[in-house]
């Protein structure tokens, strides 16, 4: 749930003046408002904005490599346990792709591969380790996302995920408390950054393309989002995110 901004407003009140000994009551002038929080569509904002009013209403956040740090990774864990990329490629390039768009269930399609990888403890134990290895979050970034939401900026996940890890991210890792909508590929039915995937987000949020800002750690995803008409930025770190967001929201303190 979005909360209303708590920053103060600067107003110019009306006044009464005297002329020829008569008091002339002048109607109060409309009070110009300076937004101290969030310059976006429908919110008149001055205060030194470059290029006029800003239109960003929603920020789309990638998960892996952005909210969830790139290291440690499950790929590293597999390598440490003698399970090479060559061994797992048939799964990740095959059935797993169907899981990513919601057309297959991970435990069901993963189970036949585990004996080939030398795993004997069952699919649930394997998935538990998988998700747990990659459960770290960038708390500094989440704090800034919470600040954006307090200023009525929509914050949403835009990520390629299968259904089970999507649930883990939201519940076990607590990301549900930091975002409003979740555009996981398994729910959308398309892979990011396809046009179908991005179109589904625009339709789901009911806004124009130019009102969306995507943060992703993939240069290709950023390029495709820009070609589609979204604003998009390549993520490197939380400090870089903060500095770049000042260009979009110069009056917002993150």
Residues 85-107: tens digit of each pLDDT: 999 999 999 999 999 999 999 99
**How far, in Å, CA of 41 to CA of 150, rounded?**
16
One DSSP character per residue, 193-213 reads TSHHHHHHHHHHHTS-GGGEE
Q: Say which CATH topology domain 58-69+137-246 has.
A: Rossmann fold (3.40.50)
Q: If you average pLDDT over residues 222-237, what whole number do you get?
A: 99
User: Percent of the chain having pLDDT more than 90?
Assistant: 76
Of the candidates 172, 170, 173, 174, the one whose C-alpha atom is nearest the C-alpha of residue 186 is 170
Residues of the chain with CATH 3.40.50.1000: 58-69+137-246
Residue 74's pLDDT band, with cuts at 50, 70 and 90, is very high
Separation of alpha carbons 209 and 152, rounded Å = 18
Mean pLDDT, residues 229-242 taken together: 98
pTM of the shown model: 0.79
């Amino acid at each position: 749930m979005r909360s209303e901004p708590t920053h103060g407003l600067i107003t110019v009140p009306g006044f009464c003046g005297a002329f020829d000994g008569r008091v002339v009551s002048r109607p109060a002038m409309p009070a110009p408002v300076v937004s101290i929080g969030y310059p976006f569509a429908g919110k008149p904002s001055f205060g030194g904005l470059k290029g006029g009013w800003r239109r960003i209403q929603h920020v789309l956040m990638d998960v892996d490599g952005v909210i969830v740090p790139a290291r440690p990774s499950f790929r590293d864990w597999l390598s440490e346990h003698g399970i090479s990329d060559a061994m797992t490629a048939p799964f990740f390039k095959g059935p797993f792709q169907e899981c990513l768009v919601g057309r297959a269930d991970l435990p069901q399609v993963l189970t036949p591969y585990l004996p080939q990888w030398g795993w004997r403890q069952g699919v649930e134990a394997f998935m538990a380790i998988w998700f747990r290895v990659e459960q770290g979050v960038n708390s500094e970034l989440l704090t800034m996302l919470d600040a954006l939401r307090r200023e009525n900026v929509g914050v949403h996940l835009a990520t390629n995920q299968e259904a089970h890890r999507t649930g883990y991210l939201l519940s076990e890792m607590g990301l549900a408390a930091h975002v409003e909508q979740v555009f996981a590929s398994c729910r959308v039915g398309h892979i990011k950054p396809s046009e179908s995937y991005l179109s589904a987000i625009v339709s789901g949020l009911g806004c124009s393309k130019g009102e969306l800002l995507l943060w992703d750690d993939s240069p290709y995803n950023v390029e495709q989002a820009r070609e589609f008409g979204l604003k998009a930025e390549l993520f490197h770190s939380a400090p870089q995110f903060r500095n770049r967001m000042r260009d979009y929201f110069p009056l917002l303190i993150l």
